[in-house]
Amino acid sequence: MKIGFLFPGQGAQTVGMCKDYYDKYDEVKAVYDKASKILGLDIAKLTFESDEQTLCQTKNTQIAILVMSLAIAELLKKNGIEADVSAGLSLGEYSALAYSGVMSIEDSLKIVQKRGTYMQDYLPEGDWSMAAVIGLDDKLVEDACKKVTSGFVVPANYNCDGQVVISGEKNAVNDAMEILKEAGAKRVIELKTSGPFHTSKLQEASKMLAEALSDITINSISDKKVLKNIDATEYSNSDNVKEILANHVINPVRFKDIIKNMADMGVDTIIEVGPGKVLSGFVKKTNKEIKVYNTNDIDAFDILINDFIK
């Protein structure tokens, strides 16, 4: 068995996520307590007791998802389950880098707190939107975006076979949605997002993030490999990790290629580590041969553990 971990990104959050783990496992509570002490912020209270609007603020969402992901990864480790290779969707790449030891837990918490703040506070002025396009080839989506003349719209996330997310000015996204429906898309769904993430419009946030990244330490790559969002290849010790992460927010996410490259590396079992089941769905749509688990709640975790014990 060769195991891959996938860590979720923004959008997977729900109020109360991880509370069942927190109440049951000391290992999980210890991660929350450590994170709260490092950041001077009660992460458990933020995650378990906030209203949806508060938790869904980018500056809060990103840190809450990171902490849950790290806590579940620690619990998996205590149960003897570790990954040979890991990756994450957008924000999730920081979880993967922390899990692999490329970035310390403390640095990952501090930089993700800043990343979420910059992505919220340094959005360009305008009315922005994102939409998921289901059932079309990548090139058809790219071509549709190029046909739009009413404003800026580009592909931002290549999620899995048959699913691409587009991002840009609201009018342009709406026009692209109509073109894509005419081109035969099965569904085109406008997403609840606050900005043109993973496009060139986040240059200011990228610049601020680059400055913040200069203060953290990047460690050598260990035997735990990590795949990048930006091109789906492995991080190596010759990579400028800080530059890659700064560019990450202004470039599309190549998540479909990450799944395919994991399979090419011999990964036959993937665990989604953190809230939600979205990434598990992406894997199933891209490679039906890979065994997939999620850890969204204790019931899912128990299924995973029981299967591994067998």
- The residues, ordered by sequence, that sit 6+ positions from 198 with a Cβ below 8 Å of its Cβ are 90, 156, 157, 167, 248, 249, 250, 251, 252, 253
* SS3 state at 47: helix
Q: Are 96 and 87 in contact (CB under 8 A)?
A: yes
Element spanning 260, H or E: helix 255-264
- Closest by CA to 287, choosing from 253, 267, 263, is 263
Among candidate residues 86, 108, 167, 198, the one labeled active-site is: 198
Q: Which parts of the chain are beta strand (E)? A: 3-7, 85-88, 128-134, 153-160, 163-169, 187-191, 225-226, 269-272, 291-294
CA distances from 177 to 24, 132, 151, 173, 254 (A): 45, 9, 13, 6, 21
Specify the residue for token string 């109440």. 23
* Residue 222 a catalytic site member: no
Among candidate residues 86, 90, 95, 100, the one labeled active-site is: 90
With the C-alpha atoms ordered 105, 111, 115, 121, is the resulting torsion angle positive or negative? Answer: positive
* Residue 198 a catalytic site member: yes
Tokens of 40: 């001077």
Tokens of 163: 């699913």
Active site members = 90, 198
